[in-house]
A = this chain, B = another copy of it.
Amino acid sequence: MENFKLFLNSLTPVSDGEFENYSQYFKGRSLPKNNYFAVQGKICHEVAFIKKGTLRTYYLNEKSEEVTSCFCTQNNLTTSYKSFVSQQPSELSIQAIEDTELLVIDYRDLQNLYQKSSVWQNIGRIIAERQYMVMEQYASVLCNETAKEKYLRLLKEEPSILNKASINDIASYLGITRRTLSRIRKEITK
């Protein structure tokens, strides 16, 4: 729980008392490699804090190819955000790409938390704001950088992903084809 507390405190001050009172809403869960946290077509009822492990978020495009939109790692949150917030069927699937340990809260409990505690209400808003900023950054990168620049950025900013995810998934995450990624990797190693 300690890392979760640190995570929350990095968003807004949370007193020990406030944390003790409400952290019980979050339940531990193990998610072995290749298991799913969320499935396309089903409503995503939960948000998870990742104690350990890595998850991949993807959807199927019109050609039924998996497009990876996100890798979520230790000490971060994951959920099919849109589905969770709107309680509509998810367009995304979220799958563990290594053995993963989560702290999970469901929608109803979270709404309860929001009701009971303005600190949590505040946390909810700040998280939404952060999610937005991350996505804005992602969009800007996709829009303005070349394939090579995007790969170099990944290499620099999220190197741990490179050992854990397949070439296929990394390519679709960068919005390029496997062939292009292969070319870039060759060019870089020389």
Report A's interface with B, CB cutoff 8 A. Answer: 61, 67, 69, 81-82, 85, 114, 118, 121-122, 124-125, 128-129, 131-133, 135-136, 138-140, 142-144, 175
A180 CB to nearest chain B CB (Å): 13
Bound Cα distance from A118 to B121, whole angstroms: 8
User: In whole angstroms, what is the CA distance A6 to B136 when docked?
Assistant: 27
Contact A82 B133 (CB under 8 A): yes
Smallest CB separation, A121 vs chain B (Å) = 5
Q: What is the count of identical protomers in the complex?
A: 2
Assembled-state Cα–Cα distance A129/B118 (Å): 17
Q: Is the contact region of chain A dominated by helix, strand, or loop, or is it mixed?
A: helix
Our pick among B81, B133, B139 for the contact of A81 (Cβ within 8 Å) is B133
B118 touching A175, Cβ below 8 Å: no
Complex interface: chain B residues within 8 A of A122 (CB): 114, 121
Is the CB–CB distance between B129 and A67 below 8 Å?
A: no
Cross-chain pairs A/B with CB under 8 angstroms, 20 sampled: A67-B144, A69-B136, A69-B139, A69-B140, A81-B129, A81-B133, A81-B136, A82-B136, A85-B129, A114-B122, A118-B118, A118-B121, A121-B121, A121-B122, A125-B128, A128-B131, A132-B132, A135-B135, A139-B142, A144-B175
